[in-house]
Amino acid sequence: MDFAGYDPAGGRQSPGIVSAKIVVAGGFGVGKTTLVGSISEITPLTTEAVMTAAGVGIDDPSKVPGKETTTVAMDFGRITMAQDLILYLFGTPGQTRFWFMWDEIIRGAVGAAVLVDTRRITDAFAPLDYFENRNLPYVVALNRFDGAPQYELEEVREALAISPQVPLVMTDARHRESVKQVLVTVVEHAMLRLQAEHGRGSPTPVG
């Protein structure tokens, strides 16, 4: 479906500047920051959240011997679309021990793209599992690495047990046009989901 001419009746005047966010998820080293950097108008920034050892049970204390605190870093980028509209792209921390940070990152997001590296396809199970259990529209993007095995999209869908409703696309995280297409797919999918929910009369706010 094409939403290019979508113009809801009423044209509500929204005051001030509105920001939206798309989440880029995936395992460690899958190319999340590369993807964000390919399209962001700023060099991806890093923000850090400091967690104390009181966060145990989630964190693995053996990874930070003798340390009281640990730092979770997330990278993000920005696209200023209009004077009053900014899109942010947030990468999730790669390590699965930081799942709790993902909850904060996805809160209020438009949708997510889960990046998959075909050389380490099993790394995708945990992130995919996470999104299957959240009410956030997401798409899966296979990041094409040089020299990586080339699979058909449907082979990958089957291997990762991705539901037929979830869009699956090929991408090259280094290329702006390719990344742009992934983000367009995320937003289109979010619109379809929202319309479907609206049609069923059961709006389900995210977060």
Is 47 in contact with 63 (CB distance < 8 Å)?
Answer: no
Q: Does 4 bind another protein (CB under 8 A)?
A: yes
How many angstroms from the chain centroid is the CA of residue 36? 10
> In the set 1, 82, 149, 202, which binds another protein (CB under 8 A)?
82
> In the set 1, 50, 122, 152, which binds another protein (CB under 8 A)?
50
Is 102 in contact with 26 (CB distance < 8 Å)?
Answer: no
Q: Does 6 bind another protein (CB under 8 A)?
A: yes
> In the set 64, 148, 159, 187, which binds another protein (CB under 8 A)?
187
> In the set 28, 60, 61, 81, which binds another protein (CB under 8 A)?
81
Q: Does 55 bind another protein (CB under 8 A)?
A: yes
> In the set 121, 169, 170, 206, which binds another protein (CB under 8 A)?
206
- Beta bridge mates, 26: 115
How many angstroms from the chain centroid is the CA of residue 193? 16
Terminal Cα distance for the chain, rounded: 26
Q: Does 52 bind another protein (CB under 8 A)?
A: yes
Is 70 in contact with 97 (CB distance < 8 Å)?
Answer: no
Q: How far is the CB of 112 from another protein (least distance, A)?
A: 14
